[in-house]
Amino acid sequence: MNIKWDSKDYKDNFNFVTQYGEDVMGLLTVRPGDFIVDLGCGNGGLTKKLADGGYCVIGVDDSEDMIRLAVSEYPELEFRKDNALTFRLEQKADAIFSNAVFHWIDREKQDQLAENISANLKEGGELVCEFGGYRCAGTIHEVLEQCFVKRGLEYPMPFYFPTVGEHTPVLERHGLLVEYAAWFERPTVKAGEDGAIDWINMFVKKAFEGMEPELKKEIQDEAREILREKIYIDGQWIIDYTRIRIRARKVTK
């Protein structure tokens, strides 16, 4: 993960991530009682939904703050701090479920991620995931890049946003046969009068690391005004999200 989360702000003002993630659970074909890992569980909201569905579930996340929040919210569930690239299970899982995580992992580490997921699944076990796809929040990133370049700065894109055709071969190289894959647009409301800047401050931290506060404010003020003409619609900020959903099954190579 290439971000340090503000877990309280995430819980209070970005709960749409969990709400949309509930729909992804519909891709699971495992049965109640089966063992599922919620990989990148965040504040544990979807871990709880999986447990309520009758699954034996463990939540795994690399953020200490998120794990602390999850444990406080759902003390009856099991959570562990661990990394998606290196975690190891004592018992292999029937399914690994992951919502809004893969796009935070650098492109060059996607093979390591797929290999590790495969290693922690039973033969015939499934991966069900959703993450940002090609051109996710593209308007915001284009405007920020424009504002950076104007000042002679490089805008470091912090996300992995592939096409379906780019990502499915990564999984299949590691014995994860893709049964279902889709890219789709999902315009998402970010509440609040300053919703676009709130979104940037939550998800685009890396681009502003080490920047003088005055310059950061100058860039964000300019970006806000440009974005207002593009994604502020009928009094709401509409972030132009796109998503990829996948179900893949572990098979013998």
pLDDT-derived band at 51, boundaries 50, 70, 90: very high
Residue 121: per-residue pLDDT: 98
Q: Tell me: pLDDT of 178 over 80.
A: yes
pLDDT-derived band at 5, boundaries 50, 70, 90: very low
The pTM of the whole model exceeds 0.85: yes
Mean pLDDT over 148-162 rounds to: 95
pLDDT in tens, 220-233: 999 999 999 999 99
Report yes or no: 154 and 208 within 8 Å, Cβ to Cβ. no
How deeply is 122 buried, as exposed, middle or buried, from its count of CB atoms within 10 A (0-12, 13-18, 19+)? middle
pLDDT in tens, 81-133: 999 999 999 999 999 999 999 999 999 999 999 999 999 999 999 999 999 99
Q: Strand, helix or coil at 231? A: helix
Q: Tell me: pLDDT of 1 over 60.
A: no
Q: Strand, helix or coil at 96? A: strand
The β-bridge partners of 78 are 58
Residue 136: per-residue pLDDT: 96
CA distance 238 to 187: 6
How deeply is 13 buried, as exposed, middle or buried, from its count of CB atoms within 10 A (0-12, 13-18, 19+)? middle
What is the chain's Cα-based Rg? 19
What percent of the chain is modeled with pLDDT above 70? 91
Residue 12: per-residue pLDDT: 46
Q: Tell me: pLDDT of 21 over 90.
A: no
Q: Which domains does the chain have, with CATH numbers?
A: 7-250 (3.40.50.150)
Q: Which residue in 27, 12, 7, 13 sits closest to 246, CA to CA? A: 27
Q: Tell me: pLDDT of 2 over 90.
A: no
Q: Tokens at residue 247, please?
A: 């179900």
Report yes or no: 161 and 136 within 8 Å, Cβ to Cβ. yes
| Residue that has been written with the tokens 């015939």 in this structure | 124
CA distance 5 to 121: 28
Least confident of 1-15, 117-131, 134-148, 195-209: 1-15
Q: To 10 degrees, the CA torsion angle through 230, 235, 236, 237?
A: 30
Distances (CA, A) of 200 to 42, 91, 224: 19, 39, 10
CA distance 129 to 26: 11
The β-bridge partners of 96 are 37, 127
